[in-house]
């Protein structure tokens, strides 16, 4: 086999997370070298959290939700209303956002997860659009309708004002925790169950596994990430735009995942950074043309690099003659541990055949 396998090791995990944390925390500085600005770093990290959670649903289970704006936007409104009417402390707002996201995910998941593929995508899209329509009509009094929810609040964490770099650090801490959690899920029994949903639901059910419960778990986890991102967005800028609930927000996270690389965890976050950079920096350079260019890039990636940026990176490494580890498995690459596993098996076989 051409693929190499890597065993799980805590020192290696520490290095991966350490490098990730350094890159994330240094973003306000390195982003300015390529034309970005401090606040853009915050937006990138918030979207990265959204996209990371989305990968646990789309990447692991293969369920393409086209309505994750439901969680992002609803959390946004909940956070806004909490700042406006209850407290400008961000903790109660976060708790409210998590509760609402979980309840909403249980309801929407129950209604949509029975269907797969395009039917699931359309159902999730429909429910999210219903919420968007409701926010603009029957809930206008609370949501501010078309104007969005405006406020003159200054969210704070135990009295520390959450503005500028403070919001960035908060988001950066959360994305590092979120990444560590997602990686842990991937290598755990739960992760294996979620990844097997994409492969063969029938085999899974007839192996004695409650597939619906696992699908719901993935949906809930991704909703929690999306809800956290929605809350952070309003902490970052105390204003809730109707766009947060709009289908284009759902579409954006899908595009981020695809161009970055579905089922890689890091890919969708890189996709988020790319999209935000494009929307904010490249747009100011090339004007209205940016959407056309972004569309072209998306098409090219889907056709030539179906695994996104991460796929591209791996291909370059292969061309350079480097070993590319397979990330689907948590198995040893050292000949020693392979030999041990096989010998254990052989002994078992010898004991049984004769």
Note the residues at the interface with other proteins (CB under 8 A): 1, 5, 7-8, 184-185, 187-193, 195-196, 198-200, 202-211, 213-214, 217, 328-332, 337, 340-342, 344-346, 348-349, 352-353
Q: How far is the CB of 68 from other proteins (least distance, A)?
A: 21
Tokens of 318: 């292969």
Q: How far is the CB of 197 from other proteins (least distance, A)?
A: 9
Q: How far is 313 from 315, CA to CA, in rounded Å?
A: 5
Q: How far is 193 from 211, CA to CA, in rounded Å?
A: 9
* Identity of the residue, 7 or 161, whose beta carbon is nearer to other proteins in the bound complex: 7
Q: How far is the CB of 199 from other proteins (least distance, A)?
A: 4
* Identity of the residue, 7 or 164, whose beta carbon is nearer to other proteins in the bound complex: 7
Contacts of 49 (CB under 8 A, 6+ apart): 171, 174, 175, 178, 225, 228, 229, 232
* Identity of the residue, 150 or 210, whose beta carbon is nearer to other proteins in the bound complex: 210
- The DSSP bridge pattern shows strands 160-161 and 156-157 to be antiparallel
* Identity of the residue, 211 or 235, whose beta carbon is nearer to other proteins in the bound complex: 211
Tokens of 35: 């034309």
Q: Measure Cα distances from 252 to 78, 159, 268 in Å.
A: 21, 34, 11
Q: How far is the CB of 347 from other proteins (least distance, A)?
A: 9
* Identity of the residue, 195 or 243, whose beta carbon is nearer to other proteins in the bound complex: 195
Q: How far is the CB of 9 from other proteins (least distance, A)?
A: 10
């Amino acid at each position: 086999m051409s693929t190499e396998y890597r065993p799980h090791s805590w020192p290696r995990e520490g290095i991966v997370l350490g490098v990730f944390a350094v890159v994330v925390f240094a973003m306000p500085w390195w982003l300015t070298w390529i034309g970005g600005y401090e606040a853009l770093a915050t937006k990138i990290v918030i979207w990265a959290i959204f996209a990371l959670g989305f990968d646990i649903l789309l990447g692991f289970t293969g369920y393409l939700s086209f309505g994750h704006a439901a969680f992002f936007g609803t959390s946004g409104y909940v956070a806004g209303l909490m700042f406006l009417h209850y407290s400008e402390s961000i903790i109660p707002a976060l708790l409210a956002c998590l509760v609402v996201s979980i309840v909403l995910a249980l309801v929407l998941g129950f209604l949509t997860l029975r269907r797969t593929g395009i039917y699931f995508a359309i159902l999730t899209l429909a429910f999210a659009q219903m919420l968007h329509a409701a926010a603009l009509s029957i809930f206008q009094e609370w949501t501010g309708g078309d104007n969005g929810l405006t406020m003159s609040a200054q969210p704070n964490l135990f009295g520390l004002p959450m503005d500028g770099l403070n919001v960035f650090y908060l988001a950066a801490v959360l994305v590092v925790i979120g990444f560590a959690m997602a990686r842990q899920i991937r290598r755990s029994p739960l992760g294996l169950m979620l990844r097997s949903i994409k492969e063969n639901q029938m085999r899974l059910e007839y192996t004695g596994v409650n597939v619906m419960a696992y699908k719901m778990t993935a949906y809930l986890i991704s909703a929690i990430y999306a809800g956290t991102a929605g809350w952070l967005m309003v902490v970052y800028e105390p204003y809730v735009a109707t766009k947060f609930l709009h289908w284009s927000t759902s579409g954006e996270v899908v595009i981020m995942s695809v161009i970055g690389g579905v089922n890689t965890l890091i890919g969708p976050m890189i996709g988020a950074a790319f999209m935000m950079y494009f929307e904010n920096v490249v747009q100011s350079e090339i004007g209205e043309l940016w959407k056309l260019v972004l569309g072209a890039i998306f098409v090219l990636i889907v056709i030539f690099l179906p695994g996104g940026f991460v796929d591209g990176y791996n291909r370059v490494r292969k061309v350079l003659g480097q070993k590319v580890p397979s990330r689907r498995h948590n198995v040893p690459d050292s000949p020693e541990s392979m030999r041990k596993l096989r010998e254990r098996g052989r002994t078992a076989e010898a004991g049984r055949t004769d």
